[in-house]
A and B are shown apart, each in its own frame.
Chain A
Amino acid sequence: MSDNDIADRMPRYEEPPAGHVSGSRLERVLRRGRFAVTAELNPPDSADPADVFEAARPLSEVCDAINATDASGANCHMSSIGICALLTRAGYGTIYQISCRDRNRIAIQGDVLGAAAMGVCNVLCLTGDGVGVGDQPGARPVFDFDSLSLLRTIRTMRDDGVFLSGRKITRPPRMFLGAAENPCVPPYEWRPERLAKKVDAGAEFIQTNYIYDVPVFERFMARVRDLGLADRVFILAGVGPLASARAARWMRSNVPGIHIPDSVIERVEKAPKPAEEGKRLCIELIQQIREIKGVAGVHVMAYRREHQVSEIIMESGVLQARGDGRSQASEGKAEIG
């Protein structure tokens, strides 16, 4: 087989449609003003691609893009870029997560090109949790970039077609740029300002951490609207089902950046079937959150409860309200996004 044959069988590297930066499925859904759904994939501790596809299956039915975490919580798993490459080639929409904790600017810029060449169109720029909370606390924390300088760097690569060194990129990466925000942790009054800074740095969509405290999130969104940010960036609110009160308390004290009000934990604790109540609660949160002005979608993080994601989204009614009642599967996932 000659080299040309291989190139012919690969999807062509196409320019995005007009008005789009990447043309990914997520970007198209959001720019059409539809309520978007994304979900987080639990990355396997395995080198078998079948494990990746198995993890993606329960999510793909209901979401516009699947987030492949980058060693979240500083725990080692299959890399985000590996998962994204596999899933993208199989036709799923993916969000490539980059954490600044593990790689320096040379590695990251190279990976962005590599991911784009594999068809990845969405990227989420994260600071990353400290190495101390993970499974290998002796690792060297890198933090060469922070999430904002990372955003600005990828935007520069995409829009100006140069590396941070100024060297030219012949075919720039087409990436829809995302960032995270955590409205429910201090400094509350500055979180919207920080979001504004992320938008200035290049963020086009935002996925928030878990929202369990709707009043706090509402106050955050009110300020976001006052700053005029709701029109400049798509905000996807982070939600997830709680498995039990014990799991919730553990998460609150061991996972950085998670705020769960006591009233929420009590509700799950007092229920006859805690897991069922956790799911119910998640559905109600989605229904409350989607009524808040400026929210463009939800991001479901159902760690070890991925099997519930599909039911949660279907029962929340957000897809039905979209009118097309579709999913990756029904629209034909052959479409690269």
Chain B
Amino acid sequence: MYRARLFAVRHAGAFEWIYARLESVMIALDPVFARIGYDRVERPVALVERTAKGLLFDCRMCGQCVLSSTGMSCPMNCPKQLRNGPCGGVRPGGYCEVKPWMQCVWVLAWDGATRMQGGQKIRDVQPPVDRSLEGSSSWLRVSREKAARLRESGDARRTAVARAFPDARAHEPAVAPLAPEPPSAVNPEGRR
């Protein structure tokens, strides 16, 4: 809905906050999703995502959401689906070249970005859309990747210690363990 979209951009700061909370919940749920199987939760989560984001942002389910880098203005609503800023055809008053009744998605995006703490992310150069991800849940993908990265950073620290003290490790592996550790010992900042 066009008006909801304008609302989302005006309140980009609030949506940024909500998104950050949602992301930590999704990351916390990673073990649950992993146990059920990510492919089995994919469809229900994608359905929820499609409904919520469709209502708020006119989401097109590209599957690789960049809303937090685009001032909460979905770039897939640009008729040229530009992911990196406005084209040169923006009309006076900031209206779209192709759909003159609509505010340019990227004029809104820069506006929204100024209301966000992480607004400078709009300056990052975004890669082209991977069309094979269309229709899939980007919430799941993001939280899954971030959870994996958190795990890896924990692993990196452990293997670094193990490598730095190879003799000790050879004689007493428990001082620099590489074997899986109990959940309470893994990534203390992830526990919170």
| Contact (Cβ within 8 A) A143 B97 | no
Chain B 76-105 interface residues, beta-carbon cutoff 8 Å to A: 79-94, 97-98, 104
In this complex, how many residues of chain A approach chain B with their Cβ under 8 Å: the count is 37
Cβ proximity bits B51-89 to A, threshold 8 Å, 1 near / 0 not: 000000000000000000000000000011111111111
| Contact (Cβ within 8 A) A182 B88 | yes
| Contact (Cβ within 8 A) A130 B84 | no
With A146-B84, A148-B125 as contacts: A186 and B97 at CB distance below 8 Å:
no
Q: Which residues of A contact B86 (CB under 8 A)?
A: 186-187, 190, 194
Complex Cα gap A127–B79 (Å): 12
Which of A21-29, A82-90, A196-204, A279-287 has 4 or more CB atoms under 8 Å from chain B? Answer: A196-204
A197 contact from B80, B85, B88, B129, Cβ within 8 A: B85
Complex Cα gap A185–B129 (Å): 26
With A186-B92, A190-B110, A193-B123 as contacts: A127 and B80 at CB distance below 8 Å:
yes
Chain A 108-150 interface residues, beta-carbon cutoff 8 Å to B: 127-130, 132, 141, 143-149
Q: Which residues of B contact A147 (CB under 8 A)?
A: 84, 87
Cβ proximity bits B109-139 to A, threshold 8 Å, 1 near / 0 not: 0100000000000010111110100000000
Q: Which residues of A contact B90 (CB under 8 A)?
A: 182, 185-187, 257
Complex Cα gap A256–B107 (Å): 16
| Contact (Cβ within 8 A) A144 B88 | no
Cβ proximity bits A235-257 to B, threshold 8 Å, 1 near / 0 not: 00000000000000000000011
| Contact (Cβ within 8 A) A145 B128 | yes
Q: Which residue of chain B is the closest to A252 with respect to CB atoms?
A: B92
Chain A 66-104 interface residues, beta-carbon cutoff 8 Å to B: 100-101
| Contact (Cβ within 8 A) A181 B92 | no
> In the complex, what's the smallest C-beta–C-beta distance from B63 to chain A, in angstroms?
15
Which one of A101, A145, A201 has the highest number of Cβ atoms from chain B below 10 Å of its Cβ?
A: A145
Q: Which residues of A contact B94 (CB under 8 A)?
A: 186-187
In the complex, A180 has a CB within 8 A of chain B: yes
Q: Which residues of B contact A129 (CB under 8 A)?
A: 89, 97
Q: Shortest 5 CB-CB distances between A and B: which pairs? A: A256-B89, A182-B88, A148-B84, A130-B98, A257-B88
- Additional pairs, 17, CB under 8 Å, beyond known A147-B84, A186-B86, A201-B84: A130-B98, A143-B80, A144-B129, A146-B82, A146-B84, A149-B125, A186-B94, A186-B107, A190-B85, A193-B110, A194-B86, A196-B123, A256-B89, A257-B87, A257-B88, A257-B97, A259-B92
Q: Can you list 27 A-B contacts (CB < 8 A)?
A: A127-B82, A143-B82, A146-B81, A146-B83, A146-B128, A147-B87, A148-B84, A148-B125, A149-B83, A149-B126, A153-B128, A185-B88, A185-B89, A185-B90, A186-B90, A186-B107, A187-B107, A190-B110, A193-B123, A194-B86, A197-B84, A197-B125, A201-B84, A201-B125, A209-B88, A257-B88, A259-B92
